[in-house]
Structure 1
Amino acid sequence: MIETVFRSEDLPVADRVDAWREKLSQIHAPVDLVCRPASDFRAQQCVVQLGSALVWSSVWSPQTIRRTPRLIRSSDPEMIHLSLITKGTVGFRMGGPDALYGPYELRTNDSSRPFDILLGPQGEGVDAVSIDVPRACLPLSSDDLDRVIGHRMTGQEGVGALLTAFLTTLGDNPRSYTAADAPRLETVLVDLLATVFANALDAMDRLPAESRRRTLILRIQAFIRDHLHDPDLTPATIAAAHHISASHLHRLFQDRETTVSGWIRHLRLERAREQLADPARSDVPVHLVAVHAGFEHHPVFTRAFRSAYGMSPRDYRRRALLQETGDGPTAD
């Protein structure tokens, strides 16, 4: 996995706009830029390469990006672009009425069609996390992709929220992954992007069965994490929430080294462990930490915690907080 970083402030003022134009053209397709005077121009970008796909976080000063018919005739790599806007507003024009996008909306464009992107049309800065992926990598027909590009989609619910979580996690912590993680992350990214598009088209049945299966697993995992605090979270309730049978749910987890219930218990213990080690939560009684993690019965929690981590929750908290202040023993 390759990570590259661009900062306009690292360059002489006179070179910044041209360097940024070149960087954008390399990632998506050749574009033109309309910017404020170079002295006011600002851009930052962190790019992570996942096989044929790129994920990049960016910070922009107000500017306009244009892909013109002339540029398309000169070069068209047939790239699909999606941006998750996290701060500011973005105006967009692509063969239809002008649109304005705000935080946690998903905006798309296609290197094969002319477009204008107005970043910060009211003079504000814009933060975003973006995807660029070759059209050929997506398991949807060319007609379906033509229909969905330009659709207004949300990153706050449904599979859009899954894509948002994936992009923000990757954008915030690119160095926590290695080159060995790239193929798996690329598969997750392409599955989520294709599912967001298919959902917008009401055409989920057009996705390959394996893509639907992998995305269903991601949805189930997100559901479990969101409901860990609920003591009634069981395989039966998870299956019902996703309109599948309990046996189907267990089959989906066959590739993991644990059962559904085992994974729930592991996540609950990890959540409790993190809270016990948090100095900001040091005044929260241990039994409430257990409740917040989804354990109804304190003795059950204590036994499970000791089995997993080799000490009681109270001893773990004491050790973790002493290490935090530098007063206690450190791990070998």
Structure 2
Amino acid sequence: MLDETTISCAHVPPADRFDFWNEVMRRTIAPLELVSAHRSDYWADQRILELGTVTAWPTKNRPTLYRRTARHIRQSDPEFVHIGLSVAGPLQVTQDDRQFLVPSGDLHIADSSRPHEVRVGTSGRLHIGSSVKVPRALLPLGRDQIDRACPRHVPGDQGYGALLRELLLQLAGSSHSYGSEDGPRLGMLVADLLSALLVQTLDDGARTLTPESRRRTLLLRVKEFARAHLHEADLTPRTIAAAHHISLRHLHRLFADEDLTLSAWIRRQRLDRARRDLTDPTLRKVPVQQLAARWQFHSPSDFSRAFRTTYGVPPTEYRARSGELEFEGQESGEPAFGEQESGGRGRDSHGPGTVTREAPRLSR
């Protein structure tokens, strides 16, 4: 299944639930302010799905106003375009001088880099929605074009809107039919559909796709594709070029200004996946070479040499250290060796699994 985290206020005292959810949204989405007439009986839960560099979050909550101001943007601007589907219950969007109502089954698009408000739910009923945030860097659009395209009400029964609606509905229902390797592919699909929708909306045709934006977007998609296929033996520059309908020469030119060549970049990504597996407690009994082989390192000596060159210690020693520090971390509350703070998102995104978060500590 997809890499998924569930956050719920079920076990938070009722009086603290609204403040808790305000903090959850600030940490997982972006700085913003929540307003609700249901502070005393607030309820919300959400699932966070990592789709490569794209993030989806199906949500259920009491009627709420989400407000993102210029102050919030100065605090943090993740520079993403937000797509929201109203699954059950209407919502109202306000950005710049535009305001519109989005009925159930329709979508809206908003820009995180400009102040806006989204009001969800009516009459005390739970509102159900499914949202996705797509980094602007993945979209072949300039700043002025995104400004013109957002905010926007998108009908969910026609064209690209219908395709996006169907995908968001699937994510809102269950992710069990997908494997962890499908996450980046789904993220690329969302970015492609959103790009096509925005280009169609702007009606700029080929003028919208500048050479630099096309190059940047293609490079990001090539990397997402490669990450999704790192475990496959036939992942080569030739197969990557064929999958993207470009020449091998064109593919190598995309990496000309990068720190690593394509082949070296793939090797580094595979090493990093092997490193993460070595720190995974659930894989502790799996032999090192078997983990290495998962990421296409079939020679023990070559893997050990490459690992030591990159991380400074042999893989067996790295695993031993991670085990020691994991035990110490369980006693002290510190994260294990080779791991990072998850910021409330659950386990590291390299492996499949669902993590439930009920009441992380709030910073006040």
**TM-score when normalising by structure 1:** 0.59
Q: Distance in 1 between matches of 2:123 and 2:95?
A: 20
**Structure index of larger Rg:** 1
Report what 2:145 is aligned to. Answer: 144
User: How far, CA to CA, are the matches of 1:97 and 1:56 in structure 2?
Assistant: 25
1:82: how far off? 0.9
Judge which range, 53-62 or 167-176, deviates more.
167-176
Cα shift at 1:125: 2.9
- Tell me what 2:48 maps to: 47
Which protein, 1 or 2, shows the higher relative CO under an 8 Å CA cutoff with sep ≥ 6? 2
Structure 2 partner of 1:85: 86
Distance 1:42 1:180 in 2: 32
- Per the TM alignment, residue 64 of structure 1 is displaced from its structure 2 partner at its CA by 0.9
1:190 alignment counterpart = 191
Distance in structure 2 (CA, Å) of the matches to 1:29 and 1:194: 22
- The correspondence of residues 133-212 of structure 1 with structure 2, limited to 5 A, is 133-205=134-206, 206-207=208-209
Deviation of the 1:129 alpha carbon: 0.9
TM-superposed CA distance for 1:99, in Å, is 1.8
The structural deviation recorded for 1:194 is 1.1
Kindly indicate whether residue 136 of structure 2 is the aligned counterpart of residue 131 of structure 1.
no
- Equivalent residues in 2 for 1:1-332 (5 A)? 1-205=2-206, 206-207=208-209
**CA contact under 8 A between 1:91 and 1:121: conserved in structure 2?**
no
Distance 1:97 1:195 in 2: 22
**TM-superposition CA deviations, 1:190-217 (whole Å, max 9, x none):** 1011112112212343355999xx9xxx
TM-superposed deviation, 1:38: 3.1
Shift of 1:81: 0.8
Q: CA contact under 8 A between 1:57 and 1:128: conserved in structure 2? A: yes
Say whether the 8 Å CA contact 2:62–2:127 is kept in structure 1.
Answer: yes
Maintained 8 Å contact 1:83/1:129: yes
Distance 1:163 1:174 in 2: 16
Whole-Å separation in 2 of the counterparts to 1:199 and 1:124: 35
Name structure 2 gaps, 5 residues minimum: 222-242, 246-364
Q: Larger helix proportion, structure 1 or 2? A: 1
Q: In 2, distance between residues paired with 1:122 and 1:100?
A: 16
Q: Flag structure 1 segments of 5+ consecutive residues without an equivalent.
A: 215-251, 255-332
Taking the aligned partners of 1:109 and 1:167, their CA distance within structure 2 comes to 16
Which range is displaced more, 200-209 or 107-116?
Answer: 200-209
Distance change >3 Å, CA 184–CA 64, structure 1 → 2: same
Alignment size in residue pairs: 215
Q: 1:115-136: CA deviations, max 9, x gaps?
A: 1211124544321110012211
- Take 1:99 and 1:38, find their aligned partners in 2: how far apart are those partners? 26
- RMSD value, Cα: 2.5
User: What percentage of residue pairs aligned between the two structures are identical?
Assistant: 35
